[in-house]
Every structure is written in structure tokens, then in C-alpha cells.
Amino acid sequence: MRNAPTILHLDMDAFYASAEQASKPSLRGKAVIVGGLGPRGVVATASYEARVFGVHSAMPMAQARRLAPHAAYLVPRFPFYRAISEQVMGLLRALSPLVEPLSLDEAFVDLEAGGVAWDEESARLTGARLRADIREVTGLTGSVGLAASKMLAKIASEQAKPDGLVLIEPGTERALLGPMPVRTLPGVGPATGDHLRRAGITTVEEIAEAGQDELVRLLGRAHGQALYAMALAHDERPVVAERDAKSVSVEDTYDMDIHDRVRVRAEVQRLADRCVQRLRAAGRSGRTVVLKVRRYDFSTLTRSETLRGPTDDPAVVREAAARLLESVDTTGGVRLLGVGVSGLADFTQEDLFAQARTAVGGAALPEEEPRREVQDEPAEEPAPPAAERRWRAGHDVRHAVHGHGWVQGSGLGRVTVRFETPDSGPGRVRTFRTDDPELEPADPLPLVTRRPGAGALTTQEPG
């Protein structure tokens, strides 16, 4: 392990909710909850004001409403969050070539690899400047942890929340970890925690005192040895630069099961288009199209078709997905649909028009839940057909007379809009018909108006 705290962990504070508060002056200082608003919705992020009431991420939205009935409930705006995340990750990559993103709002950085930190003083200075630059560029706050290992840097950033910086000095790790609960260590979830508790082990120090042999007996060789090493503050994992994605996919979970086969086909076509948009945004193409269907009884079917060459043509992906759907029985209803592309490449095969019409039988996988990859964001609510257009709470709109605003709520043929911008004061509220021709969806406004030359990180070289 290093002898200087040159591994940095950044965790943006209540990211989605904080971005919404910064975007909407009337919500600043108030409880804000972001997530799926339907009967099956879950909380993606809760502001610190909402957490006072016991609301937390991954909680069922119905439970959150009972705990905080007066909070503002908003549908996520993922393109907006991704744009802010790209700004933050850009600041991190200016510090070091070794940046390991964990999600849109969290990443490790090897400061030593970038030559911007080599001891405690330079690491603390770099962390402070990063926090200042994040605030200047995005208007949001992030918490920074600095330590000699990834595990300890993440623990430090958790201690720094919200809007702080904590540096763990090398040599103090054992004393710091000792009294902490076992769940503090990576890989110790509820089941392992309960198993250790039944053995009389509740703190990190008690893990160290139990010894490696006892932990191997309790948890097995791999887990026991790893946990013992972490309890001794040994963590040699390197910061690994962002790896290429192996696949690109999108999926939606529906508030009510879809029974209409025509609607199912339309949803698959829409998901295919979204998947290709994400594929093109990444500058990639792919040769295997994958369809995922979760039915009314929670059984999950996966179908795939491998094309003759990689493509980023939406017509090709749409037609492949449609063919795959033909082999799936959706009679009882569908609760989730997904379309993905794997076998990624950096080029496309130009002559694929014929391939779009070649019915290659999709290979069926077992009718069971496939292994799921970790996702850094919940599925966006599906957009209804134009004839049924709804106005999503929290999303941006523009009125021909009143200007930019956001949807506070809608129903019974009416939509309520608050007209305000990130740099205005709290705005006025007006209500319109949902089909008002002067009201239309709009793109989010930037949280901060950038000034020329703003946002550059500078560090001193070692003398």
C-alpha cells in the first residue's frame, strides 16, 4: 500500500436531487425526491432535506410518499444528469489519466499517476481545488476522500458528506477502522453482516482479532481472506481507467402490464431507436441484437440475433428486434421490455440493407432471469404515444409567452407549470390545457453560465 494519500474518491452530494434543486430555485432548501412515480417506482435519489424524514435511495416510492407527503416528487432527467457528469469527469481526467468511474456521480482518481499529488499537503490542496472547480463549473457540491487505498478513500468521502473533504493519514488506518461496524467494509452486505454478528463479530477490530483462519471457517477461503486483509487496512487494488463497454442497452419497466400486442411492438421499436442513439453517441456499432421481455409472472425471456457484421443502423436494429419479438408469447402481459446491442466494434459494415430483411432465427436462452449488470441509473419512464402525451413532473417546457419552466404536475387535461430558470428567483405558477399549442417540451438549461477560461485546475509541481 502507498505511503501517501494519493488516491481520491469523489462522490457528488445527492446528485440527481441536488441537480434538480440547482435547476429549480423554488425547490432549494426543500425536500426533493427523484425516481419513478408509478405504483412500481423506486427512489433514485433523495435530497438531504428529504432524508431527514427517513427517505433513501432504492426505497419504494409509495413508502417515500408516506414518510414525506409534502416533498416534491420528480421524474428523472437522465440526459441532463449525464451532461453534468461529463463535466465532472472532465475535471477528473484533467488531474490524472487513471480515472475509474463507478457511476454518473462517483469515481476514483489516482493523483500520483497524474503527477498532481505526492504527499499529504499536495493531495489535500488538489482535493480542495477539485471541489472548488466542481462548484464553479456545475454549481453543485461533491465530497472528497483521500487515502492510500481505494477502500479507505471511499470511507473518507462518506465521512466527508455532505460537501466536505476528509484525508486519512497513512499509519492511522487501523485506529480509524477498528470501531467501525463490519458493514463498512466492501463486500459485507446484510447476509454476511448477520452471519458475522451471530458469531459475535460486529466491528472491524473484532474481525482482525478473530484471525484469518476463523474468518475462512465462517465465510469460505476467498471471502474470509479478503475480509481479514481489509480489516487490517490492506487494499492493493489499483485505480483502473474506464473500460470499454461490452454492450449498449436500454429498458423500461411499465406501471401497468402491457397486454396490447400492437403497443408491445411499438415499445420495442422505440427502445431499439433509443438503443441506437446511445450506441452512436458512444461512437460504436454492434453485431448482436438482444431482446429482453419480463412477463406478468416475472419470468424473463432473452432472445438474440447475430448479424453478418456490426451496424449502427436503426432500421437494422428495429427489424432484428421485431423478428425476435415474434418468438415471444406476450399474451398474459408484459411488465418490462429491453433492447440491447453487443459484440461492439468501432466501425460499421456499410452494405447491411439486405441483412435488415434476412430473417435469421433468434437463439433462445433459458426462460430464467439472466445475470444482471450493475446499472448506475434506473430506467426512465417510457414516453407515451403522441396521442396520449403526458407532461412529466420536473421536466422542462417552454411557453411561447411565459418562457422556460418546468412541470409541477398534470392531470384531468391540465398541466401546471412553474416558470423559472437556474439563475432566476422562484417563479410564478400557471395552469394550461395539456394540448395548449403554445406549450412544448424543452431542453434543460445549463446550471452555470460558463465564462471563458473558467474551470481549469492548476497544481504546483514538486520542487
Residue located via cell numbers 448482436: 288
Please give the pLDDT value at position 451.
54
Report how far residue 89's alpha carbon sits from residue 100's, in angstroms, rounded to the nearest whole number.
10
Average pLDDT of the segment spanning 103-119: 93
What is the reported pLDDT for 93? 94
Residue 373 has pLDDT above 70, yes or no: no
User: Dihedral of CA 356/361/363/364: which sign?
Assistant: positive
Please identify which of the residues 106, 112, 305, 420 carries the catalytic annotation.
Answer: 106
Written as nine digits, the cell of 125 is 490542496
Q: In this model, does residue 458 exceed pLDDT 70?
A: no
Selection from 157, 114, 167, 127 nearest residue 4 by Cα: 167
Residue 129 exposure: Cα atoms within 13 Å on the Cβ side: 20
Does the annotation mark 420 as catalytic? no
Cell of 115: 503527477
Instruction: Please state the rounded mean pLDDT for residues 403-425.
Output: 93
Count of alpha carbons within 13 angstroms of residue 232, beta-carbon side: 13
For residue 242, what pLDDT band results from cuts at 50, 70 and 90?
Answer: low
User: If you average pLDDT over residues 450-454, what whole number do you get?
Assistant: 53
Q: What is the pLDDT of residue 371?
A: 31
Question: In this predicted structure, what is the pLDDT of residue 241?
Answer: 86
Binding-site residues from annotation for Mg(2+): 11, 105
For the domain made up of 180-231, give the CATH fold. Answer: DNA polymerase; domain 1 (1.10.150)
The pLDDT value given to residue 354? 39
End-to-end CA distance of the chain: 24
Between CA 268 and CA 252 the distance in angstroms is 10
Lowest pLDDT segment from 76-85, 117-126, 376-385, 441-450: 376-385
Domain locations along the chain: 180-231, 247-364
pLDDT > 90? residue 398: yes
Whether 156 and 147 have beta carbons less than 8 Å apart is answered as: yes
Q: What DSSP state is assigned to residue 60? A: B
Distances (CA, A) of 251 to 54, 245, 257: 29, 17, 14
Establish how many alpha carbons lie within 13 A of residue 161's alpha carbon, considering only the half-sphere containing its beta carbon: 15
pLDDT tens profile 345-362: 765 444 333 344 444 444
Residue 1's CB: how many other CB atoms inside 10 A? 14
| 198-203 contact pairs (CB < 8 A, 24+) | 203/178, 203/179
Which three three-digit cell numbers place residue 383? 414516453
Cβ contacts of residue 418 below 8 Å, gap of 6+?
Answer: 24, 26, 405, 406, 408, 426, 427, 428, 429
Residue 271: enclosing H or E segment and its boundaries?
A: helix 261-281
Cell (9 digits) for 389: 402525451
Residue 280's pLDDT band, with cuts at 50, 70 and 90, is confident
Specify whether the CB–CB gap between 146 and 153 falls below 8 A: yes
Q: Which of these ranges, 129-138, 269-278, 437-446, 450-459, has the smallest mean pLDDT?
A: 450-459
Give the pLDDT band of residue 248 (cuts 50, 70, 90).
Answer: confident
Most confident among 218-222, 281-285, 400-404 (mean pLDDT): 400-404
% of the chain surpassing 70 pLDDT: 87
Q: What pLDDT does 244 receive?
A: 62
Phi and psi, residue 354, nearest 5°: -65, -35
pLDDT, average across residues 42-46: 91
Q: Is domain 247-364 in CATH 3.90.1150.10, yes or no?
A: no
The more confidently predicted of residues 40 and 62 is: 62
265, 322 contact by CB (below 8 A)? yes
pLDDT value at 416 more than 90: yes
323 has a pLDDT exceeding 50: yes
For the entire predicted model, the pTM comes to 0.72
Sign of the Cα pseudo-torsion (97, 448, 159, 167, in order):
positive
Q: Say yes or no to pLDDT of 388 above 80.
A: no
Amino acid at 122: S
- Virtual CA dihedral for 206, 210, 213, 215, nearest 10 degrees? -40
For the sheet with 106-110, list strands across it.
99-103, 106-110, 7-12, 142-147, 165-167
Task: Indicate the annotated binding residues.
Answer: 11, 105
One-letter amino acid of 17: A
- The pLDDT of residue 295 is 87
The arithmetic mean of pLDDT across residues 310-334, rounded, is 91
Same fold, 180-231 and 247-364: no
Q: Evaluate if residue 102 carries a pLDDT over 90.
A: no
